[in-house]
Amino acid sequence: MKSYDVLIIGGGPGGYNAAIRAGQLGLSVACIEGRSTLGGTCLNVGCMPSKALLHASELYEAASGAEFAHLGIEVKPSLNLAQMMKQKEESVTGLTKGIEFLFRKNKVDWIKGWGRLDGAGKVKVTDDQGNVSDYTAKDIVIATGSEPTPLPGVTIDNQRIIDSTGALSLPQVPKHLVVIGAGVIGLELGSVWRRLGSEVTVIEYLDRICPGIDEETAKTLQRSLAKQGMAFKLGSKVTQATPSADGVSLTLEPAAGGEAQTLQADYVLVAIGRRPYTEGLGLDSVGLNTDKRGMLENQGHRTSVPGIWVIGDVTSGPMLAHKAEDEAIACIERIHGKPHEVNYGLIPGVIYTKPELATVGKTEEQLKAEGRAYKVGKFPFMANSRAKINHETEGFAKVIADAETDQVLGVHLVGPSVSEMIGEYCVAMEFAASAEDIALICHPHPTRSEALRQAAMNVDGMAMQI
Ligand SMILES: Cc1cc2nc3c(=O)[nH]c(=O)nc-3n(C[C@H](O)[C@H](O)[C@H](O)COP(=O)(O)OP(=O)(O)OC[C@H]3O[C@@H](n4cnc5c(N)ncnc54)[C@H](O)[C@@H]3O)c2cc1C
C-alpha cells in the first residue's frame, strides 16, 4: 500500500493546481483522475473547447458577413466543421498533455482510475481494467468537480437533447437550436452555433438573463445578442421534450402559469446549471454528508472530517476554474501549515460572447439590498477611440464606488476584449483602490482600457471624452 503526504481526488483545475503546489512545497503527492486525460471539465469539456469554438466561430462570422466587407476584405468563406472540431481537439490535447508535463516537473504521481474514500486517510482506486489499489495519505483533498444539472421532463440522450459536452461536438450545424437556460454556458454555446448558421432560441425560467450579474450590464448584453439574431423567451419553463430521429418537440409554459405552447427544434441544449459531483466517492465511509444541493461544505477548505479537504466546483462558491485554482493554492498552503485566504468578494466572472461581459465585486442590486450608498461612473465604448476605429462600439465600462470613501466596490464591463481588462480592476480592488486612484493612473492610448479609466473619472462626473 503506497503512502503520500497528500492524495488529491480529481484532476481538474482544483485538483491539478493543488497537486502542483503540493509538489512545489516538497510534499509527496498523487492526483487520482478517472478520465483518460488530466485537466477536468475545464480543459476537456468546458472552458477550453468552448473558447476554441467561440474563437473560430467569431472569425467565421466576421469573414462571412458585413464585418470583413466593411473593412474592405472580400472573401467567401465556407465552413469545414470537421476541421473546426479537429483543431479544437488538438488544442485540448496539447493542454491536457501540458498538465502531464507539469506533474512530472513537480514530482506529482498521476494515479489513473476512480478514487473512493475507504475510511480515515485511506483511498481505494479502481482502474479501467477493474483492478483495485489501496493508498493512504495524511491529507486527502476532494476535487471531484461538477456535472450538468438535469431538467425533469427533458432527458439528455446526447443524440438530440444534449448537454454542454454534446454541444461542443455536434456533427452538424443545427437548423434550430433551442438552449434551455440563459446563463454563461447557454449564451456562449448558443453564440457558437448561431454564428455557424443556426437559428437559436434561448428559453429562460427567470424574466432576465444571467441571474446574479449586474442587471443593467446583463440587459445590455441581451440587447446585443438579440440584435445578432438570438431569440429569447424569458419567464418560460420547458415542461416536456419529446425527441424523434430528426428533432425534438418541446412543450413550454409561462413560468407564472398559463397556456402551454410547443416548439420544434432539431437540437436542444440543456444548460440550466451544474451540480456537485460526488458519485461513488465513499463519503459514508468517513461520515461525510452533502447538503441538499449535493454540495460538500467547508470551512477554510476543511470538511467536518479531520484530514479531508474540499475545493472547486464540488463545494460552495461560484463554479469557475479560477476559483477552483485559488482554493487549490490556499488549501495546500494550509495543509503545509501556512495561513492563506481566498477573497471570495473578488472572483471575476466572464461571458465570452461578442461583446464580452466581465464583472467583479458588487452589483448595484447587491448594494441596494445592503443599503450601502454608492456612486456610479460609466463610459460607453462608443466614445473610446480604439473601439471606434475597430467598429466594436457596443457596451460600456461601469465602475461603482462607495459614496463616502470612493473605494471601488464593483466593476461591470460589457464590450470588446473586456475579459482581458477586468484583471486591472481585480488588482486595484485587492489593493482597496479608490475610483480616483484609477482615474489618476496613465493608461496607454489608443486602447480599450482607456474606457476603464474614463469610467473611474466619471464616478465624480469628470470623464473627459464624452
Ligand atoms: C461548457 C463549459 C464552459 C466553461 N467555461 C468556463 C470558463 O470560461 N471559465 C471558467 O472559469 N469556468 C468555466 N467553466 C467551469 C469550469 O470548467 C469549472 O468551474 C472547473 O472545471 C472546476 O474545476 P474542478 O477542479 O473543481 O472540477 P472539474 O474540472 O470538474 O474536475 C473534476 C475532475 O475530477 C474527476 N473525478 C470526479 N470524481 C472522481 C473520482 N471519484 N476519482 C477520480 N477522479 C474523479 C473528474 O473526472 C474530473 O476530471 C465551464 C464549464 C463548462 C461545462
In the chain, what are the domain boundaries?
2-148+275-344, 161-272, 355-460
Residue whose CA lies nearest to ligand 1 atom number 30: 145
Residue range 161-272 in CATH 3.50.50.60: yes
CATH assignment of 2-148+275-344?
3.50.50.60
pLDDT by position in tens, the chain (length 466): 899 999 999 999 999 999 999 999 999 999 999 999 999 999 999 999 999 999 999 999 999 988 999 999 999 999 999 999 999 999 999 999 999 999 999 999 999 999 999 999 999 999 999 999 999 999 999 999 999 999 999 999 999 999 999 999 999 999 999 999 999 999 999 999 999 999 999 999 999 999 999 999 999 999 999 999 999 999 999 999 999 999 999 999 999 999 999 999 999 999 999 999 999 999 999 999 999 999 999 999 999 999 999 999 999 999 999 999 999 999 999 999 999 999 999 999 999 999 999 999 999 999 999 999 999 999 999 999 999 999 999 999 999 999 999 999 999 999 999 999 999 999 999 999 999 999 999 999 999 999 999 999 999 999 998 8
Alpha carbon separation from 244 to 171, 247, 265 (Å, rounded): 17, 5, 10
Q: Is 43 in the pocket of ligand 1 (CB under 6 A)?
A: no
Nearest CA to ligand 1 atom 38: 144
Interval between CA 418 and ligand 1 midpoint (Å): 24
Distance 39 CA to ligand 1 centre (A): 8
CATH 3.40.50.1370 fits 355-460, yes or no: no
Could you tell me the pTM of the whole model? 0.97
- Please tell me the distance between residue 350's alpha carbon and the centre of ligand 1 in angstroms: 16
For ligand 1, the distance from its centroid to the CA atom of residue 313, given in whole angstroms, is 7
Residue 463 dihedral angles phi and psi, to the nearest 5°: -60, 140
Domain 2-148+275-344 shares a fold with domain 355-460: no
**Catalytic one among 322, 391, 412, 445?**
445
CB of residue 351 inside a 6 A radius of ligand 1: no
**Ligand 1 lined by 112 (C-beta under 6 Å):** no
Q: For the chain, how far is it from start to end, CA to CA, in angstroms?
A: 69
Instruction: Please state, in angstroms and rounded to a whole number, the distance separating the CA atoms of residues 411 and 400.
Output: 6
Q: Can you tell me which atom of ligand 1 is nearest the CA of 39?
A: 49
Asked whether 281 lines ligand 1 (CB < 6 A), one says: yes
Q: Give the closest residue (by CA) to ligand 1 atom 27.
A: 145
- CA-to-CA separations, 138 to 4, 8, 63, 297, 387, in angstroms, rounded: 7, 11, 56, 20, 54
Clarify whether 445 is annotated catalytic: yes
32 alpha carbon – ligand 1 mean position (Å) = 14
